[in-house]
Chain A
């Protein structure tokens, strides 16, 4: 028999946790962005797992749309990063603090 769904779900939870940890502790905006991608991929993995387990193609269709939305999100997010870098010439989140100062 094939791999039980719970193995995939545990792996997905661990991957999501690693991504969330990265977003919490890293301060480079680009690396934080990559950690968001890790969390999105964890969600994709669990959706494909449920699609196989429940024998419903809807989970895979959801992953398809999540891929498209993630690509659009990366385009807009990196555009914002480039704009911030032009204004402040930094990519470290702690140094973008003009609202605080």
Chain B
């Protein structure tokens, strides 16, 4: 019996199983919704479902702070940003998902992904770190002190990474401003027709 099967054979308590199954169903249904929905807005809303499922499983694993951050940053900010860009560009038209521009792209992609997932699972079932030997020297992540432990780790062990993150955020803000800025000088004639077409939104389908 492989280690994965032996791990599957252990019996967790019923509430844990229920929470896990609900979270896993949210994640998988949402992820499938992202890749099969023709409308980008529906894909964004399915992404919200997946992110909430991830937050549920974070709470199940006593990572309360990350669950809160997941909901606030991902479901709050990132998906709203996606929806904002979708509406701003007026690309909320349905995409014809059935035509396949490259012959055999989808069967090849399915095969590739199946091989990849199978190899990840096989790697996890072979390696000891997947199921087994636990470190006994690390900190515990109990429900009462998760935020305390995480804050202590971020501001001591990972302090340099934290500071580098602040620099990264500044650079990202500046980069976004530079990218999204309408330059008023040389290429304004070049930008202007595209902007008018983009602003038209729904009528764009007729002009193409």
Q: Which residues of A contact B (CB under 8 A)?
A: 1-11, 13-22, 24-28, 30-31, 33-35, 37-38, 41, 44-45, 48-58, 60-61, 63-65, 67-76, 78-83, 85-89, 91-92, 94
Contacts and interface: CB of A to CB of B under 8 A. Distances in A.
Contacts of B47: 34, 37-38
13 contacts: A1-B13, A11-B57, A20-B112, A24-B113, A28-B95, A51-B63, A53-B131, A60-B63, A63-B63, A75-B176, A76-B179, A78-B85, A79-B175
A4 B10 contact: yes
Nearest to A68: B165
Interface of B: 3-4, 7-8, 10-13, 16-17, 20, 24, 27-28, 31-32, 34-35, 40, 43-44, 47, 50-51, 54, 57-58, 60-63, 65-66, 69-70, 73-74, 77-78, 81-82, 85-86, 88-89, 91, 95, 101, 105-106, 109-110, 112-114, 116-117, 120-121, 124-125, 129-131, 134-136, 138-141, 146, 149-150, 152-154, 157-158, 161-162, 165, 168-169, 171-173, 175-176, 179-180, 190-191, 194-195, 197-198, 204
